Amino acid sequence: MARERTRDDARGSAAPARRASDRGKYGRLSRERVLTAALELVDREGLSALSMRRLGAELGVEAMALYRYAEGKDALLDGLVEALYLELEERLSAGEPADDGWREGLHRVARATYDVCLAHPQAVPLLATRMLAVPLARRPLAVLKDHERVLGLLRRSGLDEAGTAAAFRAFTAWLLGYVEVELRPVVDNPDEPDPAFRLGLHRMPAQDLPTLRETAPALAEPGGPEGLSAGLDVLLDRFTGPDRPAPPRR
Amino acid sequence: MARERTRDDARGSAAPARRASDRGKYGRLSRERVLTAALELVDREGLSALSMRRLGAELGVEAMALYRYAEGKDALLDGLVEALYLELEERLSAGEPADDGWREGLHRVARATYDVCLAHPQAVPLLATRMLAVPLARRPLAVLKDHERVLGLLRRSGLDEAGTAAAFRAFTAWLLGYVEVELRPVVDNPDEPDPAFRLGLHRMPAQDLPTLRETAPALAEPGGPEGLSAGLDVLLDRFTGPDRPAPPRR
DNA sequence: AACCGTAAATTTACGGCGTATAGATACACT
DNA sequence: AGTGTATCTATACGCCGTAAATTTACGGTT
């Protein structure tokens, strides 16, 4: 009994040869081609559309062929994170300003990361999930290089190891959190003309949530890069200032 | 031909009755019981262990029975988020200090959120993924109530709607980012006595990543609640101060 | 040009997943 | 005791990740 075929039968069974050469547009597979296609697919249809079979089809290849370039699905997702950081590195080295101060450097990194994330919103959840799943030393090399860059900039501010670590955590937390909050959808029904309905305010109990309802329109406005750098500045002041350990509250 | 059974056959086929009464420990299902069991399962075995079938088994029930209490898997995950925020609400109302200032209130909320997240580290990725998938108005009620509380506290600082929204984003970004960074694993092999191997430093190219390697031990130390509230303080200063719009950088 | 060894991709199969649909069962109320 | 409704089970379908075995393609040697 014949199993259902897709690629071959569709072309007719009389065609004799050249079975594998109509694969992807450019000959053989490669890790880069796999990751690029994966990121494109995620950008286009979201994370849930990314499966080994689907990605294989996208590349004109069976699912198992991908296992030569990523050990499994999880490794593929880590590869996507890597791809994001490679894109970040690209943007950062493009038009690199000879050498400004450490503070400007950190703002540049933050802004570039922000831009990359907004360019691939569907992939951003990976930054949360995979980074929580993979210990520091096992993160993709591009990620570690980014860490190295940020840590180097922070050290140039005169911090010791402990202070650098604390400032690094603050930098990373703010950047990551800001991007995630920026990408949270607040509009419920974009096609609705009435602003209140567009926000879906009718779903919120009016008596329990008065402030939320009145603030919702303002929450629909994005924070933008200005908000990012404003918060970053005060955090850097705080975590690279002279009074290193936090004065205990209360 | 007999299909493979699990529950019934295990008890022997002679047992006459009471088939459904040995379900969960306490009679029938309920949304709360479902969500509690789901959260327990996630805490115990991680998010990837949570499936409809598995959760059903945990409750002594078939998978489809769960669909009466959650519309589907996604709704179940949203329910988990809800459960986290319900636990937050519990902690916040326990021993509520009559009425301190808005700033103390925000610190209390931040600290309680931090505690809840550290108590359920395996569930934290949901805060990133589900919040990016669900528009504001469709978030679980407990989440919206939390928003309401924070927004109310911020308004009490004298901000207008736009300022409140900006400060809310900053608060949320910092809190969420801080928790996620705090939960990122940096130790690679906990059983290793040698600190360098424990961190997995041997996996990092020494020449490309000198600063990372020297900072790694310090990165292994958690930031703790002190770091959270230190950053929160300066952010609140910045986003509720008199100079409302961020002075443009450069 | 024929051959061969290795690399690359396919085939097949297995168990688990989410869930639509339909049927069985339990329970509250008269 | 009987009945209507709420609750749970049974079954099936298509998709998923991936282990193992197999086939195909290709570069280097003769």
Handedness of CA B209, B214, B215, B220 (dihedral sign): positive
Residues B63 and B37 in one domain: yes
Q: How distant is C1' of D9 from CA of B142, in Å? A: 33
- Is the pLDDT at B97 greater than 90, yes or no? no
Q: How distant is C1' of C26 from CA of B4, in Å? A: 25
- Tell me what pLDDT residue A97 has: 76
- Is the pLDDT at A3 greater than 70, yes or no? no
| Contact partners, residue A49, CB within 8 Å, separation at least 6 | A41, A42
Among the partner residues B128, B144, B208, nearest to A129 by beta-carbon distance: B128
Q: Is the CB atom of residue B21 positioned under 7 angstroms from any atom of strand C?
A: yes
- Tell me what pLDDT residue B26 has: 53
pLDDT single digits (tens) A131-174: 999 999 999 999 999 999 999 999 999 999 999 999 999 999 99
Residues B54 and B83 in one domain: no
Residue ending a domain, choose from B11, B37, B70: B70
pLDDT single digits (tens) B108-152: 999 999 999 999 999 999 999 999 999 999 999 999 999 999 999
Identify the bridge partners of residue B27 per DSSP, sorted by sequence position.
Answer: B24
Residues B81 and B188 in one domain: yes
Q: What percentage of chain B carries pLDDT values higher than 90?
A: 82
| Contact partners, residue B97, CB within 8 Å, separation at least 6 | B104, B108
Nearest 5°: the CA angle A198, A201, A205 is 165
CA distance B164 to B79: 28
Structure tokens belonging to residue A172: 């990373």
CA distance B37 to B66: 11
pLDDT single digits (tens) B148-179: 999 999 999 999 999 999 999 999 999 999 99
Average pLDDT rounded to a whole number, residues A173-181: 98
- Is the pLDDT at B25 greater than 60, yes or no? no
**Rounded to 5 degrees, what are φ and ψ at A27?**
55, -130
For the domain that residue A61 is a member of, what is the CATH number?
1.10.10.60
Residues A85 and A62 in one domain: no
Q: Chain-wide mean pLDDT for chain B?
A: 88
Nucleotides of D under 7 A from a protein CB: 7-11, 15-21, 24-26
Confidence of residue B23 (pLDDT cuts 50, 70, 90): low
Q: Is the CB atom of residue B249 positioned under 7 angstroms from any atom of strand D?
A: no
DSSP B186: -
Helix (H) / strand (E) element for A18: namely: none
- Is the pLDDT at B236 greater than 50, yes or no? yes
Q: How distant is C1' of C8 from CA of B43, in Å? A: 41
- Tell me what pLDDT residue B99 has: 74
Q: Could B231 and A162 be called an inter-chain contact, meaning their C-beta atoms sit closer than 8 Å?
A: no
Q: Could A246 and B235 be called an inter-chain contact, meaning their C-beta atoms sit closer than 8 Å?
A: no
Quote the minimal CA–CA distance from A4 to chain B in Å: 27
pLDDT single digits (tens) A19-58: 344 454 455 899 999 999 999 999 999 999 999 999 999 9
pLDDT single digits (tens) B209-220: 999 999 999 999
Nearest nucleotide to B19 (CA to C1') is: C25
CA distance B212 to B214: 5
Quote the minimal CA–CA distance from A1 to chain B in Å: 24
Residues A228 and A161 in one domain: yes
Residues B38 and B138 in one domain: no
Domain presence at residue B5: no
Residue ending a domain, choose from B44, B70, B96: B70
Domain presence at residue A249: no
Structure tokens belonging to residue B56: 């059903």
pLDDT single digits (tens) B29-50: 999 999 999 999 999 999 999 9
Domain presence at residue A13: no
pLDDT single digits (tens) A72-130: 999 999 999 999 999 999 999 987 776 789 999 999 999 999 999 999 999 999 999 99
Q: Where are the beta strands (DSSP E) in chain B?
A: none
Domain presence at residue B45: yes
Residues B221 and B132 in one domain: yes
Nearest nucleotide to B48 (CA to C1') is: C17
Among the partner residues B137, B210, B237, nearest to A234 by beta-carbon distance: B237
pLDDT single digits (tens) B42-75: 999 999 999 999 999 999 999 999 999 999 999 9
Closest Cα in chain B to A231 = B235
For the domain that residue A126 is a member of, what is the CATH number?
1.10.357.10
* Alpha-carbon separation of residue B25 from B20, B21, B79 (angstroms): 11, 9, 21
Quote the minimal CA–CA distance from B191 to chain A in Å: 14
Residue ending a domain, choose from A12, A38, A70: A70
- Tell me what pLDDT residue A242 has: 63
Domain presence at residue A112: yes
- Is the pLDDT at A184 greater than 60, yes or no? yes
Domain presence at residue B96: yes
Do B87 and B117 touch, CB atoms closer than 8 A? no
The gap from C-alpha B58 to its chain's centroid, in whole angstroms, comes to 21
The three-state (H, E, C) secondary structure of A198-223, written as one string: HHCHHHCCCCCCHHHHHHHHHHHCCC
Nearest nucleotide to A65 (CA to C1') is: C9
Closest Cα in chain B to A175 = B177
Q: Which residue is nearest to nucleotide D7 (CA to C1')?
A: B65
Query: Which single residue is written with the structure tokens 């694993």?
Result: B185
Structure tokens belonging to residue B249: 């950088």
Which structural domain, as residue segments, surrounds residue B157? 71-239
Do A69 and A34 touch, CB atoms closer than 8 A? yes
Domain presence at residue A195: yes
Among the partner residues B129, B215, B238, nearest to A161 by beta-carbon distance: B215
Question: How many domains does chain A divide into?
Answer: 2
Residues B75 and B92 in one domain: yes
- Tell me what pLDDT residue A27 has: 58
Domain presence at residue A192: yes
Q: Give the residue from B175, B247, B244, B188 showing the smallest Cα distance to B220.
A: B188
Could you give the 3-state DSSP secondary structure of residue A170? helix
CA distance A171 to A236: 8
Nearest 5°: the CA angle A142, A69, A62 is 140
- Is the pLDDT at B201 greater than 50, yes or no? yes
- Is the pLDDT at B200 greater than 90, yes or no? yes
Do A132 and B180 touch, CB atoms closer than 8 A? yes
Closest Cα in chain B to A201 = B137
Residues A115 and A138 in one domain: yes
* Alpha-carbon separation of residue B212 from A60, A99, A141, A144 (angstroms): 40, 21, 12, 8
Report which of residues 42-61 in chain B place their beta carbon less than 7 angstroms from any atom of strand C.
50-54
Do B73 and B133 touch, CB atoms closer than 8 A? no
- Tell me what pLDDT residue A11 has: 31
Residues A143 and A34 in one domain: no
DSSP A59: T
Q: Residues of A with CB below 8 A from B167's CB?
A: none
